Amino acid sequence: MCRNQRPHTNHLVPISSIELKEPLINYCKVHPSTETDLRCGRCDRYICPQDLTHTPGGIRCTECAQLRRPPMYELAWSHYLRGGLAAAGAALALGFTGALLLAPRTFGNFFYLASALMMGIAAGILVSEAIERATGGKRGTAMQLFASASIVVAAILRLLFGDNLALLDRDVGGAMAALVGTVYAWGRMR
């Protein structure tokens, strides 16, 4: 036997002499007839699968979870009004500016399409920023729809201001700018 090794003894303790701090079977605090081993990660109460809520901090009971929407997604009617007015103002300004800077064409070279791409990104930034500032940073599906509608209306106003409404279905650069701007604004207002 090595110097650091102890002689092997088998210590068996009868189960009747073990004191248990908690019962072997645990029951849900809300549903006392349901057996469970799940605990709330916050208050340490026993909960059954009916009462648990998955949160970023782990499993919680319904009292500890109290999930609510982030404040940027809670909208009052005044936010809808201000968002709609900001979107309408941005559409008017972008439609007029677009008629001056990006003349409608049925064809496009590389520079024209690159300009349309950049103007679409700029339109998405401007519209989403205008809506965010008007509503105090509110976001959500309604604001996404306002931003998308604003860019589509700006594309149509661009053709109206330039007396080119007949090119509505053949304006490659305008369609590209509207598509890119809508996608960008939609993603930013998420």
Residues 84 and 174 in one domain: yes
- How much is the mean pLDDT over the chain? 86
Q: Are residues 110 and 61 in the same domain?
A: no
Are 94 and 183 in the same domain? yes
pLDDT tens readout for residues 134-163? 999 999 999 999 999 999 999 999 989 888
Q: Residue 68: its pLDDT value, please?
A: 73
Site of tokens 């920023």:
129
Residues forming a β-bridge with 39: 46
Q: Regarding beta strands 58-60 and 53-55, do their DSSP bridges make them parallel or antiparallel, or are they unpaired?
A: antiparallel
The answer to the question of residue 13 being in a domain is no
**Residue pLDDT, tens place only, 86-122:** 999 999 999 999 888 887 777 778 888 898 899 999 9
Range of the domain at 140: 71-188
Total structural domains within the chain = 2
Q: Verify that 33 and 113 share a domain, yes or no.
A: no
Whether residue 151 is found in the same domain as residue 75: yes
Q: Does residue 87 sit in the same domain as residue 58?
A: no
- pLDDT band at residue 84 using 50, 70 and 90 as cut-offs: very high
DSSP string, 52-80: -EEETTEEE-HHHH-----GGG---HHHH
Residue after which a domain boundary falls, among 37, 67, 97: 67
Do both 42 and 119 map to the same domain? no
Whether residue 75 sits in one domain with residue 60: no
Whether 5 is covered by a domain: the verdict is no
Q: Is residue 10 part of a domain?
A: no
pLDDT of residue 128: 96
Other C-beta atoms closer than 10 Å to the C-beta of 81 total: 12
User: Is the model's pLDDT at 64 over the cut of 90?
Assistant: no
Per-residue pLDDT at 187: 95
Residue 144: predicted pLDDT = 96
Q: What is the pTM of this model?
A: 0.65
